[in-house]
Structure formats: C-alpha cells, structure tokens
C-alpha cells in the first residue's frame, strides 16, 4: 500500500480496525513502515451496478444522490440528524442490492424508500408519498394519510 505521507510503497501495520455502516464496511487505522505516520483506510464491499427501469421504459444507472435529494426534501425542517439520514440511505441501498434482479423498477425503489421513511419520520413519509403517488387533490392526500394511519 502506498503511504499518503511519504508516497512509498511499504508494508503498513494495522493499529486499529472497526466495522462501520452497520457492519458493511471496515475502518482501519494504519501505520506506515517507512515513515511511521498514521492514516485511515476504509474497506467496503463492492456494490454491483443497479439499473433502474423508469416508467417510460428507459433505463438509468442507480444514483444514490437522487435518493438522497428526495430524502432531504422530505426531511426538510424535520428533527432528523445527518447520521440517521446517512444510515437510512445505506439501509435503502442495502435493500436494493440484496434483490436478485439488478434491474429494478423505479416504483419498487420508491416503495423501499417509503418503507424506510415510515420508520424514520412520519411527516417525511407523507411528504414523500405525496410526490411518489402523484397526489393531485386533497381527497387523494387524505387517502394516503388514512392508509398510513391504518398501518400503524
């Protein structure tokens, strides 16, 4: 491994190792054998590329930033920490990755997001559902809220 300080390719000694991201990644604290400087590396399982099948029939590569943007909009001015948001994003990705088929319909992605939002924050869930289900009237909005209340 190449040291980020001295740029030499030398043996590094692992000083500390911890799992992060709910056990899906490893953080290692290393020490360079040449210059004795310490640095941190992260190891994650390589994620298989997911393809999202859009409603209009087009295909698009999975983009974590799109999901994050939707979550952030739903969670705007809600008491949810950045850490909880990131954990939710990771859990959503894990759920999508664990599917057998790597081509996933966009509606299925929306359902997974809604399942996680329902646990995270009820107001954010309603906000996301209103966009996801393309609610166009107060009556439709009322139905979504009633469905949510029945499931609890």
3-state secondary structure (DSSP) of residue 36: coil
User: Using the 8-state DSSP alphabet, how is residue 101 labeled?
Assistant: -
CA–CA separation, 12 and 30 (whole Å) = 6
Cα angle value 26/81/42 (rounded, 5°) = 15
User: Using the 8-state DSSP alphabet, how is residue 45 labeled?
Assistant: P
pTM reported for the whole predicted model: 0.64
Higher pLDDT pick, 72 / 101 = 72
Each residue's pLDDT tens digit, 75-86: 999 999 999 999
Q: Where are the beta strands (DSSP E) in 1-152?
A: 12-20, 25-32, 38-44, 51-53, 59-61, 103-105
Tokens of 113: 């997001």
pLDDT, residue 101, reads 86
Tokens of 67: 């999901």
Tokens of 9: 């390719």
Cα Dmax for the chain? 69
| Span 38-62, average pLDDT | 87
pLDDT, residue 134, reads 67
Task: Give the residue extent of every domain in the chain.
Answer: 12-44, 51-151
CA–CA separation, 118 and 132 (whole Å) = 14
Higher pLDDT pick, 49 / 63 = 63
pLDDT of residue 46 exceeding 70, the answer is no
Distances (CA, A) of 56 to 43, 53, 107, 140, 143: 37, 8, 12, 23, 26
| Span 48-56, average pLDDT | 88
Each residue's pLDDT tens digit, 111-140: 999 999 989 998 898 888 887 776 677 777
pLDDT, residue 145, reads 77
3-state secondary structure (DSSP) of residue 128: helix
Q: Is the Cβ–Cβ distance between 49 and 61 less than 8 Å?
A: yes
């Amino acid at each position: 491994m190449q040291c980020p300080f001295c740029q030499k390719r030398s043996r590094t000694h692992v000083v500390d190792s911890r799992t992060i991201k709910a056990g899906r990644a490893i953080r290692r604290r290393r020490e360079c054998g040449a210059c004795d400087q310490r640095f941190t590396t992260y190891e994650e399982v390589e994620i298989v590329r997911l393809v999202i099948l859009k409603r209009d029939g087009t295909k698009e590569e999975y983009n974590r930033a799109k999901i994050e943007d939707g979550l952030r909009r739903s969670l705007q001015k809600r008491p949810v920490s950045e850490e909880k948001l990131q954990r939710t994003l990771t859990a959503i990705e894990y759920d999508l990755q664990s599917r057998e088929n790597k081509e996933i319909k966009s509606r299925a992605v929306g359902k997974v997001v809604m399942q996680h939002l329902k646990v995270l924050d009820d107001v954010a869930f309603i906000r996301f559902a209103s966009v996801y289900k393309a609610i166009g009237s107060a009556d439709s909005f009322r139905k979504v809220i009633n469905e949510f209340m029945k499931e609890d």
